[in-house]
Amino acid sequence: MNQHICQKCKATYSLNEPRWKCNCGSILDIEFRPIFDLEKIKQRKPTMWRYREAIPIQDEANIVSFDEGFTPLAEVDFKGKTILIKQDHLFLTGSFKDRGASVLISKARELGVKKVVEDSSGNAGCAIAAYCAKAKIDCDIFVPEDTSGGKLAQIQFYGAKLNKTPGTREDTAKAALKAAEKDYYASHSWNPFFLHGTKTFAFEICEQLNWKAPDTVILPVGNGSFVLGSYIGFNELLNAGIIDKTPKIIAVQSTNCAPLYKAFKEGLAEIPKIDKKDTLAEGIAIAEPIRGKQIIQAVKKSNGDFIIVDDSEIKTSLKAICRKGYYIEPTSASTTAGITKYLERAYPDELIVSIFTGHGLKSTEKMLKILSK
Ligand X SMILES: Cc1ncc(COP(=O)(O)O)c(C=O)c1O
Q: Binding to Zn ion by residue 298, rule CB under 5 A?
A: no
Binding partner of 24, given Zn ion, ligand X, none, CB within 5-8 angstroms per partner class: Zn ion
Question: Helices 330-342 and 364-372 sit at what angle, rounded to 10 degrees?
Answer: 60
Residue type at 214 in one-letter notation: P
SS3 label, residue 82: strand
Q: Binding to ligand X by residue 284, rule CB under 6 A?
A: yes
- Scanning 62-70, 109-117, 120-128, 239-247 for contacts with ligand X by CB under 6 A, the matching segment is 120-128
Q: Binding to Zn ion by residue 24, rule CB under 5 A?
A: yes
Number of residues that bind Zn ion (CB under 5 A): 7
In this structure, are residues 289 and 223 in contact, taking their beta carbons and an 8 Å threshold?
yes
Binding partner of 56, given ligand X, Zn ion, none, CB within 5-8 angstroms per partner class: none
In this structure, are residues 159 and 115 in contact, taking their beta carbons and an 8 Å threshold?
no
Q: Binding to Zn ion by residue 6, rule CB under 5 A?
A: yes
All residues at 6 or more sequence positions from 111 whose CB lies less than 8 Å from its CB, including other chains = 16, 17, 18, 184
Q: Binding to ligand X by residue 148, rule CB under 6 A?
A: no
- Scanning 70-78, 104-112, 207-215, 324-332 for contacts with ligand X by CB under 6 A, the matching segment is 324-332
Report, in Å, the least distance between residue 265 CB and ligand X: 18
Q: Binding to ligand X by residue 332, rule CB under 6 A?
A: yes
Q: Can you tell me which of 65, 71, 95, 354 binds ligand X, judged by CB under 6 A?
A: 95
Question: Helices 123-135 and 149-157 sit at what angle, rounded to 10 degrees?
Answer: 10
The closest alpha carbon to 277, from 259, 292, 265, 300, belongs to: 259
Q: Can you tell me which of 224, 247, 259, 360 binds ligand X, judged by CB under 6 A?
A: 224
In this structure, are residues 120 and 128 in contact, taking their beta carbons and an 8 Å threshold?
yes
Measured CA to CA, the distance from residue 255 to residue 277 in angstroms comes to 9
- Scanning 103-111, 161-169, 218-226, 341-349 for contacts with ligand X by CB under 6 A, the matching segment is 218-226
Per-residue DSSP letter, 360: G
Q: Binding to ligand X by residue 94, rule CB under 6 A?
A: no
Complex with Zn ion: residue 26 or 168, whichever CB lies closer = 26
Measured CA to CA, the distance from residue 290 to residue 69 in angstroms comes to 27
Q: Binding to Zn ion by residue 28, rule CB under 5 A?
A: no
Measured CA to CA, the distance from residue 262 to residue 310 in angstroms comes to 15
Per-residue DSSP letter, 247: P
Binding partner of 221, given ligand X, Zn ion, none, CB within 5-8 angstroms per partner class: ligand X
In this structure, are residues 340 and 313 in contact, taking their beta carbons and an 8 Å threshold?
yes
- Scanning 152-160, 217-225, 263-271, 297-305 for contacts with ligand X by CB under 6 A, the matching segment is 217-225
- Scanning 3-11, 139-147, 278-286, 341-349 for contacts with ligand X by CB under 6 A, the matching segment is 278-286
Measured CA to CA, the distance from residue 60 to residue 64 in angstroms comes to 9
Q: Binding to ligand X by residue 307, rule CB under 6 A?
A: no
Q: Which residues bind ligand X (CB under 6 A)?
A: 95, 121, 123-124, 188, 220-226, 283-284, 286, 329, 331-332, 357-358
Q: Which residues bind Zn ion (CB under 5 A)?
A: 6, 8-9, 11, 22, 24, 26
